[in-house]
Structure 1
Amino acid sequence: MAPQRYLIIAARNDLVIPSHLMALEPSPLWRPRGLITAHGNLSSEIRRKWIWWSLPEPPKRNLQLTDIIEERPDSAPWHTPAQTERLLAMMSGVNLSKIEAARSQGRRIAGTVYKRTRLDANGLKAQRAEVRFDDVAGCLRTPAGGSSRQIVLLVDGGSVKSRLLSSRETARLMGLPDDYELPENYNEAYHLTGDGVVAPVVRHLSEHIFEPILSGRSGHKRRAA
């Protein structure tokens, strides 16, 4: 999952915006409540210049989390059994029950884990490992500022193994093709993808907003950079 972001799209005042790109009112698909509230707090002058973009719904995803998992990535080798056991020992009963539920399905299931600081029963800070099996990766972040790196937990029948999310897997989460060249250094590759924008999102905006505006300006079809 990429970080949740607002993408504000602005156009120069001298550009003619095709009428089919402008909606009469905000669509619930693209305008969360927070944005509507913020818009209502803008000055009347800015609101007069505001455009609610008319944007079609993007295609549904066609990949599951297990589809992007590498078998033997060079950038993130699988943990030893002892390392995986230490990871499981950091989990609460609720999280361990998620693993047991995944095991009971008798098939290959991929989950993701983040280590977080929580208060224990005595009110003291303790590091915990929290897993999710909802077929959505945790928020992809840059490996800086104390943020823990995301861990892959693969349950296949009775076996459980773990490792860091590989650099290629982070790129796949961001919609980059496998022939996209990543830095050889793991942290540099993770920083590149964790600090980027999702490629299919940019393509969708380019096709339905950027390029139609550029085409109208030049009189012929142009591709956005």
Structure 2
Amino acid sequence: MSSFYEFFAGGGMARAGLGADWQCLFANDFDPKKAASYAANWGADRLRVGDVAALTTADLPDEADLAWASFPCQDLSLAGIGIGLKGERSGAFWPFWRLIDTLGMEGRAPRLVVLENVCGALSAHDGKDFAAIGSALSGSGYRFGAVVMNAIHFLPQSRPRLFIIGVLNSSPIPHALVARSPDPVWHPPALVEAHSKLPACAQNAWQWWRLPSPPVRTSILADVVEDAPQGVAWHTSAETQKLLDMMNPLNRAKVEAAQKMGGRQVGTIYKRTRADGPNGKRTQRAEIRFDDVAGCLRTPVGGSSRQIIMVIDDLRIRSRLLSPREAARLMGLPDTYALPNNYNDAYHLAGDGLAVPVVRFLAEHLLEPLLAAAQATLKKAA
């Protein structure tokens, strides 16, 4: 059985994706509400609640095969203010990395490291933040590469995320897991450009990870929608009409087209502030999509980022907030997963989390083969 440390653990979605063949030795999160969800679903025996900067390697038991870190994205997000790795939240990467460095000095360096974040990490500070992460990895004795994986291949949610995978220099990398050049499915132009800006030491440690083609998704948004949702109520007719009135002609036409299709159609809405008219006046608009896919779940800051669904049954139009269970399903969590009772807490947990089947795909096709190769080498040496 492979083992791992789970940093910035949230509700344990990395743990859910890795699966039962992986043993969690240690988990940490700063947020007590998320930690409560982690404990409710996985137990608290391996969980330490608090700032990663307060941890020392004495808190980390044994020797883990993998260190997983979904470090905070707010300062790296394109929707944020762009402080980057110098920010208070995304800057939590550095005390985490000091732990990894110290483990190496103690002869306990994890064979694998996975760093997960938003794709804005590629371009933050013109690529300097990504270069800093690459230099940290190569400087600590890791070869590394990155992939951008979109949950849309697995779930009816558009959610691209960056995964940086490092392998200890002493561990073998099978040739079948490395490509000679970038694969546009997993290595989009933004990643290729970020790679070109890495310093020489990091470029020398770079690997173009090879993954198989993504599976054909078999689910659509309507599959996750609850008929009798818990934790949310349907809007009144007046509230639904207000949403329709907030749409520009293009989005209103989408609703009319969905009505003409007949049957049950499900769309998702985000409210966004847009510049309207020649004077550039900014107006809040409701923007809808009917492509059987939800928009990317976000953390509910100020209310505007809460996703709304609109259900059209022939001429009848209803709307409401996405329910907590629907948000969890869009992250690939099973209905047995215990969610917080508070709406915002549940939505925040999902919006800040990992798409479970994405983690499983990465583990199956890269992490587990890498560890198997390392274990085979150790057996030969013995």
Please report the TM-score for the alignment, with normalisation by the length of structure 1.
0.92
Rounded to whole Å, the distance in 2 between the matches of 1:11 and 1:213 is 8
Correspondence list, 1:156-171, <5 A: 156-171=313-328
Q: Distance in 1 between matches of 2:208 and 2:302?
A: 35
Contact 2:324–2:346 (CA<8 Å) still a contact in 1? yes
Q: Return the match for 2:331 from 128, 149, 174.
A: 174
Q: Deviations over 1:69-106 (max 9, x none)?
A: 11111111111111111111111122111111100011
Instruction: Report the residue type matching 1:71 in the other structure.
Output: D
1:19 pairs, out of 169, 175, 187, with: 175
Deviations 1:86-130 (A, max 9, x none): 111111122111111100011100000111112233532221111
* Shift, 1:146, TM fit: 6.0
Q: What residue identity is the alignment partner of 1:190?
A: Y
Residues 158 and 293, structure 2, Cα contact 8 Å, conserved in 1? no
Partner Cα distance (2:310, 2:190) in 1: 34
TM-score (norm 2): 0.55
How large is the Cα RMSD of the aligned pairs?
Answer: 1.6
Inter-partner Cα distance in structure 1 for 2:181 and 2:276: 48
Q: How many residues in Structure 1 have an aligned counterpart in Structure 2? A: 220
Alignment of 1:128 with 2:128, yes or no, is no
> 195, 199, 208: which one pairs with 1:43?
199
Give the fraction of aligned pairs with identical amino acids, expressed as a percent.
53
Residue in 1 aligned with 2:223?
67
1:1-225 correspondence runs (5 A): 1-121=157-277, 122-144=279-301, 147-219=304-376
Question: Structure 1: which 5+ residue stretches go unaligned?
Answer: 221-225
Structure scoring higher RCO (CA < 8 A, sep ≥ 6) equals 1
User: Following TM superposition, by how much is the alpha carbon of 1:213 offset from its aligned partner in structure 2, in angstroms?
Assistant: 1.6
Deviation per residue, 1:153-201 (Å, 9 max, x gap): 0011010000000111111111111212211111111111101111111
Question: Counterpart of 2:163 in 1: which secondary structure?
Answer: coil
> Structure 1 residues 191 and 2 mapped into 2: Cα distance closer, same or farther (>3 Å)?
farther
Evaluate the alpha carbon distance shift between residue 186 and residue 47 of structure 1 in structure 2; reply closer, same or farther with a 3 A threshold. Answer: same
Q: Relative to total residues, which structure has the larger strand share, 1 or 2?
A: 2
Secondary structure, counterpart of 1:14 in structure 2: coil
Given that residues 2 and 174 in structure 1 are in contact (C-alpha distance below 8 angstroms), is that contact kept between their aligned partners in structure 2?
no
Which whole-Å CA distance do the structure 1 matches of 2:171 and 2:178 have between them? Answer: 14
